Structure 1
Amino acid sequence: MTNVALVGDIGGTNSRFGVLELGSMDVRDVEVLKNDNFEGLEAAISAYVTKHGITELAAAAVDVAAPVDREHITLTNRAWTFSAESLRKAAHARRFRLLNDYEALAWSLPHLAAADLVQLGGEAHSEPLMKVVLGPGTGLGMAGLAPLPGGGWMPVPGEMGHVTLPIVTAEELALKDKIMGKDQFSEVEDVLTGPGLFALYTAIAGTPKLHTPEAVMKAGLARTDSAAVKTLDHFMTFLTRLAGDAAMALQARGGVYLAGGIAPSLADQLKAPKYRAVFEQKGRLSEVMRHIPLYVITDPFPAFKGCAAALNAK
C-alpha cells in the first residue's frame, strides 16, 4: 500500500504541486502549472498525477487562496469552484485535507530552516511560543500558530487585511485621503497589497510615470524613480507597523513571519534599522517588542511544508 502523499499550493494564477512520503518534509517532483491551461482545479490535479503515473495516494493536502469553511469553495481570484471530495477523487487519495493558504503557512512555521528565513532583529526561541504569519499579495493574509499544552500546534486563521490601516503621521493621513477620500474608512488591503502599492504610488506621484505594481517595485528597488522609492518606504513602514500590531495583539513571542510574493523582494530593504524601530514602537510596551523576532520567509514553497505538517498531525 502506498505511503505517498500529494501537496498542493493553489493561487489565482498558478497551481504548485509536489509529492512526499507521509511523515517526511522532503517534497519532490515539484511542478508549477499555469491555471489558464485548465478548466478547474480538479483538472490541474489530474494532469499532475497522470503525468507522474500516480494511480493511488495515501493522502493529499491542498491549500487554496479562499475561505474553506463551506462545502463548495470558489477561489478568491479565479472562477474555480470545487469541494474537498471532488479534489480527493481527482487526486486518487484515501485521505484528503483542504486548507486556507495562510493556514498552511502557519503550519509551516516550526519547520522552516534558518536558510528559509531572513531575521530582522529580535531573539529566536527554541521553545514553542505563539507565532504569526502575514503577508501582502493580491490581498493580505494572516494566521496565528498556537502551541498546544500537550504538544503540537493549532493554526488560528485571521483577517488582518480588513482591519483599519495603521496611520500615525499627518503625511500618512493625507495619502489615505487621496486614496480613499477624506473621512472614509481605509482598511489594510487598500495599501498593503499589489494593487494597494500602485494606489499608494499614484497618490504620491500625482502624475504617475509607472503603470503597474511590478514597475513601481522594480523602480523603487533600483532607486530610478523618486516617487517609487518613497512609495516603498511608506509600504514597508505600514507593513512593519502592522506586523508589530499583530505581535502585540497575540503576544507572538515566537515571532512574526512575513510571507507572500512581495515581502521576499523587500527583505534587504527591511534590514534598515528604521523599520525594526517601527515594528517595536508600542509605547510603554516597546520593551516587550524588542525581544520578538521578525522574519521574512524566503523559501519558495513554504506552504508545501505546511501541507505536510497538517497531514502528519492527523
Structure 2
Amino acid sequence: MAMLLGDVGGTNARLAIARNGSIDASTVTRFKGDDFASFDDVVRQFLAEQHGPHISSMCIAVAGPVSGGRARLTNRDWFFDEDNLARLADADQARLINDLTALGFATPALAGDGVAVLREAPQDRARNGQALVVGLGTGFNVCAVRVLPGGAITALEAEEGHTHLPANIMWRLIDRVGADAARGFFSTEETFAGRGLSRLHAAMTGTHPVRSEDIAHAVEAGDAQAIATYDFFTELVGLLCRELALRFMPLEGMFLAGSVGRSIADRMDRFQPAFLAQEHMRHIPENTPIFLIRDDMAALHGCLAALG
C-alpha cells in the first residue's frame, strides 16, 4: 500500500511515497515550481518516475489557505482540488492541508536532529497534551496541536497572522520608532513575517526597506544597525510568544518554524527576558519549552500522520 505525500511551497514542491507507515527516503524528490505549469504536472512526472505505483491515499501540504477541499498557493498560480488529485493519482482518498497544519501533525514525532531545544522547561512541569507551531517566515500563522490519550492528533486551523497586534507590542513599537512608523505594524503578520522585519529595520535606521535576508547577512557581517534591529525584533517575538503561551497553553512545547524563526534561534538571551517579562500568569510561559523545527522533512511526516 503506497501513500503519496507532498509539501508544496511557492518555490519548490517535494513529493514522496510512504509504505507501511514510513516514508521511503529513496522516493523523496524536489521539483522547482518554475518548471511546471501546474501541480498536476508535478504529480504526473513524479508518478512516472516512480513507475506508476498504486496510490491508496494522498495528502498534500500547501503554502496557502485550504477550504472545502480546495487550495491555491499564495505566490504562484497553482490550484489544488482533492477530487481532481484523487482521480489523477487513481487514489481512494486525497487530502489537502495547510503547510503549517502539516507541521502541527508532525510535532509529536519530531526528535533528534529534527528539532533543537531553544528553551527548556522544568522536568516536573504539568503536561496537557497541547503544543503550538509558530510559523515565522514569508507569512505568519500558528497551528495548535492536541494529542489525545490514544495517540490521535488534532491540528487546528487558525488565521492568527491577521489578528490585531497586541497592545503591549504596539506600545513598545511606538516607544522605539514613533507613532507614525508604528502604524505600519497593524497586524501580527505585518509585524512578524519577513516583511515586518524589513519594515522594522527601515524604521529604526531611517533607510529604505531591504530584504530580511539582506538584514540577516548584515548581522553575520557584524553590522551594528542590523544587530540592533534583530535584537529588538527578537524581543518583540518573545513578547508575542508570551501572549500565545497564555492563549493556547502549549505545555508540551512551542515549536518555532520558518526562516525568520531560524534566524532568531541564537538570540534566546533577548527572547527569554521578554517571554517572562510579565509577572501575571508567569507560570504558564515558565512551564512552556521552546523548540525550533529543523527537519526539512517535517511537513511530509505531518502529511503521513494526517492520513492516520
TM-score normalized with structure 1 length? 0.88
The answer on 1:83 being equivalent to 2:81 is yes
Q: Which whole-Å CA distance do the structure 2 matches of 1:13 and 1:207 have between them?
A: 29
1:112 Cα shift? Answer: 0.2
Instruction: Tell which deviates more after alignment, 247-256 or 65-74.
Output: 65-74
Q: Which amino acid aligns with 1:13?
A: T
Using the TM superposition, give the Cα deviation of residue 91 of structure 1 relative to its aligned residue in structure 2, in angstroms.
3.0
Q: CA separation in 1, counterparts of 2:150 and 2:171? A: 48
**Partner residue in 1 for 2:140:** 140
Matched, 1:308 2:307: no
2:221 corresponds to 1:222: yes
Q: Give the equivalent residue in structure 2 for 1:117.
A: 115
Task: State the distance in 2 between where 1:282 and 1:24 align.
Answer: 43
Instruction: For 2:84 and 2:109, locate their aligned partners in 1 and report how far apart those are by CA, in whole Å.
Output: 29
Task: Letter of the 2:273 partner, please give it.
Answer: A
Give 1:264 deviation, angstroms. Answer: 2.1
Distance in 1 between residues matched to 2:169 and 2:41, nearest whole Å: 47
Displacement of 1:158 after TM fit?
Answer: 1.5
Q: Deviations over 1:173-206 (max 9, x none)?
A: 253744453xx77111112112221111111111
Match of 2:242 in 1: 244
Partner of 1:10 in structure 2?
A: 8
Q: For 1:34-53, what aligned pairs fall within 5 Å after superposition? A: 34-53=32-51
Q: CA deviation at 1:27?
A: 4.1
Distance 1:128 1:309, change over 3 A: farther
Aligned to 2:212: 213
Distance 2:103 2:213 in 1: 24
CA distance in 1, matches of 2:51, 2:238: 45
The alignment status of 1:257 with 2:259, answered yes or no, reads no
Return the alpha-carbon distance in structure 2 between the equivalents of residues 251 and 266 of structure 1. Answer: 22
Deviations 1:111-146, CA, capped at 9 Å, x for gaps: 100321121223368966110001111110211011
| Per-residue deviation, 1:169 | 7.6
Q: Answer whether contact 1:17 1:48 (CA < 8 A) is retained.
A: yes
- The change in CA–CA distance for 1:165 and 1:27 in structure 2 (over 3 A counts) is farther
Q: Deviations over 1:88-125 (max 9, x none)?
A: 23333232221111111110000100321121223368
Structure 1 residues not aligned, in runs of 5+:
none
2:297 pairs with 1:298: no
The alignment status of 1:175 with 2:171, answered yes or no, reads no
Q: Secondary structure at the match of 2:288?
A: coil
Counterpart residue number, 1:197: 197
Is the 1:191–1:235 contact (alpha carbons within 8 Å) kept by the matching residues of 2? no
* Alignment-derived partner of residue 288 in structure 1: 284
Aligned to 1:29: 27
Between stretches 284-293 and 130-139, larger displacement belongs to 284-293
Aligned residues: 304
* AA of the residue aligned to 2:282: S
The answer on whether the counterparts of 2:62 and 2:98 sit within 8 Å (CA) in structure 1 is yes
Q: 5+ residue gaps in structure 2?
A: none
Task: Give per-residue Cα distances to partners, 1:32-52, cap 9 Å, x unaligned.
Answer: 211111111111121222122
How far is 1:216 from its partner?
0.8
Q: 1:221 to 1:80 in 2, by over 3 A?
A: same
* TM-score, scaled to structure 2: 0.90
Give the SS at the match of 1:267.
Answer: coil
